[in-house]
Amino acid sequence: MAEGLGVGICGLGTVGSGTFNLLFGNRAEIESKVGTPVEVRLVGCRRDHPDCDLAGTRVTRDIFDVVGDSEVDVVCELIGGTDAALELVRGALDAGQHVVTANKALIAEHGAALFELAAEKGVQLRFEAAIAGGIPIVKAVREGLSGNRIEGIAGIINGTSNFILTEMSGLGNRGFDEVLAEAQELGYAEADPTFDVEGIDAAHKLTILSSIAFGVPLAFEHIYTEGISAVTVDDIRYAQELGYRLKHLGITRRRESGVELRVHPTLVPETELIAKVDGVMNAVLVSSDAAGTTLYYGAGAGSLPTASSVVADVIDVARSVGATHAVSNLGFAGGTSDARVLPIDETRSAFYLKLTVEDRPGVMASLSTTLSEHDISIESLIQKDASGGQVPIVLITNEVQESQFDAAVRAIESADYTQGEVTRIRVVAFN
């Protein structure tokens, strides 16, 4: 390390260009922090980036040239995807290079094998930038709260979905399709928005968060995922009347029987700080036995915020080289736990339930009876004005196991007083 740390950047897109510019622009400040120079010694990219001045930097058009390059101690994998990226990361680890990646899909789907390879080779594989952009949440969980037993994590970890829900919650009475189109125009949503609005991006991130929190194996194949495309403005309004905000959350919690791992639209009490996180911003709430509730807020995407986390990881490599017990991989040196991921029907939530019933005496009593026969109580309820012989009812239940709520809903749906569809949204409180 006497001669500094050599960095190779693979991919010069949004994150790669930000990483190059940050390492270059702040190189004096970074050297003064680390005590040794941190230098970009090779950039692998198919084409130059208009924002990057590559004069004086060694460049190759074949990213695989960075693998095993003798001047490169740390390879930054910033190409995305899971094909070439997997080959690249595997190659670099195999060649004894440390790897820093922003690639959530790669870690969530292939992390186990890659971490094993990194451990075998005695190098580090870091991934702060894979979750919540510029927020140092991996560091907070693996290190800042390392003395704690983590109880649960809930995160607004997809900025696109949070932007859409925030706009739908505003006064404009605008539905999902209209706001999505606006988000696409503003560049907050992709032309094909599936990854963001159907929760897949959040599922990748939550899978990783769950593993660093609980030391469980990465379990992307077992996560429950539901997006926001079916959310209606009506439900947002009714929930607001009841004192709740609708957020798209990733939730992972430790339970006696296993670990909850789920991404879905969630109603949160309006008094909680996470309910007040609006627009494209991200926030992650962590509940743990000693620190209690802590929350981490910031930009969840973008060139420089993501680069901030990539560079922090590079600096952490420089700062930890030589340490016998450097934090690595999922943060559990002692191996992973065997706690299973709970199927969604074994998770616990309170529920928002909206239904339309016949406008006649005794219906409310029947509905209450059905719920109480399933050991469910009503915490709050709004009965709207009757029209055409029908009354819309919106209620919030206590916390119950999902299978128990499912059974109650089946009974309600088949009751003679119920008209049409029943809508249900999970409700979770953290304080």
Comparison of 133 and 258: residue with beta carbon closer to a copy of itself: 133
Among 289, 345, 373, 413, binds a copy of itself (CB under 8 A): 289
Q: Nearest approach, Cβ of 123 to a copy of itself (angstroms)?
A: 15
| 171 near a copy of itself, judged by CB under 8 A | no
**Ranges within 226-255 binding a copy of itself (CB under 8 A):** none
Q: Nearest approach, Cβ of 5 to a copy of itself (angstroms)?
A: 9
Among 122, 172, 292, 362, binds a copy of itself (CB under 8 A): 292
Q: Nearest approach, Cβ of 338 to a copy of itself (angstroms)?
A: 13
Among 52, 216, 242, 314, binds a copy of itself (CB under 8 A): 314
Among 96, 122, 147, 243, binds a copy of itself (CB under 8 A): 147
| 299 near a copy of itself, judged by CB under 8 A | yes
Among 72, 102, 105, 277, binds a copy of itself (CB under 8 A): 277
DSSP 47: S
Q: Nearest approach, Cβ of 276 to a copy of itself (angstroms)?
A: 5
Strands (E), 149-274: 150-156, 224-225, 244-255, 258-269
Neighbour-count burial for 71-103, b at 16+ CB within 10 Å, e otherwise: ebbbbbbbbbeeeebbebbbbbbebebbbbbbb
**Ranges within 337-376 binding a copy of itself (CB under 8 A):** none
Comparison of 57 and 82: residue with beta carbon closer to a copy of itself: 57
Comparison of 291 and 415: residue with beta carbon closer to a copy of itself: 291
Among 9, 23, 219, 407, binds a copy of itself (CB under 8 A): 23
Closest to 156 (Cα-Cα) out of 179, 137, 142, 181: 137
Q: Nearest approach, Cβ of 33 to a copy of itself (angstroms)?
A: 6
| 145 near a copy of itself, judged by CB under 8 A | yes
User: How many Cα atoms sit within 13 Å of 68 on the Cβ side?
Assistant: 9
Distance of CA 65 to the CA centre of its chain: 32
**Ranges within 124-143 binding a copy of itself (CB under 8 A):** 128, 133-136, 139-140, 142-143
| Range in contact with a copy of itself (rule: CB under 8 A) among 76-84, 163-171, 313-321, 352-360 | 313-321
Find tokens 């340490």 and name the residue.
Answer: 323
By CB under 8 A, the count of residues binding a copy of itself is 71
Token pair, residue 194, equals 């599936």
DSSP 40: E
| Range in contact with a copy of itself (rule: CB under 8 A) among 62-70, 269-277, 374-382, 387-395 | 269-277
Among 54, 273, 378, 381, binds a copy of itself (CB under 8 A): 273
Find tokens 């696109």 and name the residue.
Answer: 160
C-beta separation of 40 from 54 below 8 A? no
| 429 near a copy of itself, judged by CB under 8 A | no
Comparison of 34 and 344: residue with beta carbon closer to a copy of itself: 34
Q: How far apart are CA 220 and CA 199, in angstroms?
A: 12
Q: How far apart are CA 82 and CA 213, in angstroms?
A: 24
| 404 near a copy of itself, judged by CB under 8 A | no
Comparison of 91 and 331: residue with beta carbon closer to a copy of itself: 331
One-letter amino acid of 83? D
Catalytic residue IDs: 205
Q: How far apart are CA 243 and CA 294, in angstroms?
A: 22
What backbone torsions phi and psi does residue 181 show, to the nearest 5 degrees? -60, -40
Q: Residue 301: is it exposed, middle or buried by C-beta count within 10 angstroms (0-12/13-18/19+)?
A: buried
Q: How far apart are CA 14 and CA 306, in angstroms?
A: 9
**Ranges within 29-88 binding a copy of itself (CB under 8 A):** 29-36
Q: Nearest approach, Cβ of 237 to a copy of itself (angstroms)?
A: 21
Report H helices in 35-122. 84-94, 104-121
Q: Nearest approach, Cβ of 363 to a copy of itself (angstroms)?
A: 38
Among 124, 166, 308, 370, binds a copy of itself (CB under 8 A): 308
Comparison of 89 and 212: residue with beta carbon closer to a copy of itself: 212
C-beta separation of 101 from 9 below 8 A? no
Three-state SS string over 333-390 comes to CCCCCCCCECCHHHCEEEEEEEEEEECCCCHHHHHHHHHHHCCCCEEEEEECCCECCE
Q: Residue 214: is it exposed, middle or buried by C-beta count within 10 angstroms (0-12/13-18/19+)?
A: buried
Q: Nearest approach, Cβ of 351 to a copy of itself (angstroms)?
A: 27
One character per residue 318-337, x = contact with a copy of itself (rule: CB under 8 A): xxxxxxxxxx---xxxxx--
| 119 near a copy of itself, judged by CB under 8 A | no
